[in-house]
């Protein structure tokens, strides 16, 4: 019960990592407010948890009025807001030349401006209460580049630096801000993104998830619940002296040399 009595706002809480976070935070003693654009999905998550412990609030993180309303409703639960998890994201493929401006703008608005708006609204509540914890969900793609993903990579990298800025500016007020960078996690969003690959390979999505991790040190993709533990830690008082940190939860993928792994798979070594 590391989060006993805390109130947390989790964006993108209707599925994937966000839904897993809601379940884990409630299990750890928190009361949560989950947000997202799909009210039906939010309702399903809330209904699966003990009554009164999870409040669904439909809205769009890209909308300044919605962002302010989400924070206000979460803070109204018990008069304060202890934790903000910026988890909502968009991942739309395309190269710089091939991507439409509208696609670029959607990812910028969702992945970077959205967290900015939520933090802008939430930080005053945290300062007034003497502190709080913000956890921003970046990605392995915020640290290394992924083919055909300039919008996702750029916005997730920007979120890391924005988080450090918040940690610097509001640490004196007791507000901490840290970043979690998941690697491949089997969510609805990733399955949708990899479905074209399955079609090209002439196989199904299960085979794609079996083949792709072969160069990852842990040799597998993560499940959403495997990302929740580090977020509980960052939201809890156990991490009271941590701020501005970027934690890689990626099965070791960020330190792998893909070229060297390909050479090794061919049975060749050097050194």
Catalytic residue selected from 152, 170, 241, 255: 152
CA distance 76 to 207: 46
Percent of the chain with pLDDT over 90: 79
- Tell me, what's the pLDDT at 259? 73
- Contact (CB, 8 A) for 39 and 58: yes
pTM for the full predicted model: 0.93
CA distance 67 to 58: 10
Domain boundaries, the chain: 7-188+220-255
CA distance 117 to 137: 15
Q: Return the beta strands (E) in 166-231 as ranges.
A: 175-182
- Contact (CB, 8 A) for 61 and 84: no
Average pLDDT, 10 consecutive residues per value, the chain (271 residues): 96 96 98 96 96 96 98 94 97 93 97 98 97 98 92 97 98 98 90 82 86 88 96 98 98 86 65 49
CA distance 205 to 209: 6
- Tell me, what's the pLDDT at 269? 52
Tell me if the domain spanning 7-188+220-255 has CATH number 3.40.50.720. Answer: yes
3 state DSSP class of 58: strand
- Tell me, what's the pLDDT at 199? 85
- Tell me, what's the pLDDT at 267? 66
Count the helices and strands in the chain (H runs, E runs).
10, 7
Chain mean pLDDT for the chain: 93
- Tell me, what's the pLDDT at 256? 87
Catalytic residue flag (residue 152): yes
Residues written for the chain: 271
pLDDT tens profile 87-108: 999 999 899 999 999 999 999 9
């Amino acid at each position: 019960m590391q989060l006993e009595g805390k109130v947390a706002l989790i964006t993108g809480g209707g599925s994937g990592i966000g839904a897993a976070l809601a379940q884990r935070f409630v299990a750890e003693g928190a009361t949560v407010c989950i947000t997202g654009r799909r009210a039906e999905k939010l309702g399903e998550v809330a209904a699966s948890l003990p009554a009164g412990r999870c409040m669904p609030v439909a809205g769009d993180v890209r909308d300044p009025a919605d962002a302010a309303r989400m924070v206000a409703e979460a803070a109204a639960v018990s008069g304060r807001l202890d934790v903000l998890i910026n988890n909502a994201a968009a991942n739309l493929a395309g190269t710089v030349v091939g991507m439409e401006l509208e696609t670029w703008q959607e990812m910028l608005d969702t992945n970077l401006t959205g967290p900015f708006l939520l933090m802008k609204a939430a930080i005053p509540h945290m300062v007034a209460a003497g502190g709080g914890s913000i956890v921003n969900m970046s990605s392995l793609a915020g640290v290394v580049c992924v083919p055909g993903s300039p919008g996702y990579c750029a916005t997730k990298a920007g979120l890391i630096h924005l988080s450090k800025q918040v940690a610097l500016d509001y640490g004196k007020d007791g507000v901490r801000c840290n970043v979690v960078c998941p690697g491949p996690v089997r969510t609805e969003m990733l399955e949708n993104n990899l479905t074209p690959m399955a079609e090209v390979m002439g196989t199904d999505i299960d085979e794609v998830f079996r083949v792709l991790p072969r160069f990852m040190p842990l040799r597998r993709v993560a499940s959403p619940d495997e990302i929740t533990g580090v977020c509980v830690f960052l939201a809890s008082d156990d991490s009271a002296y941590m701020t501005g940190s970027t934690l890689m939860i990626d099965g070791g993928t960020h330190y792998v040399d893909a070229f060297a792994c390909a050479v090794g798979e061919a049975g060749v070594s050097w050194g």
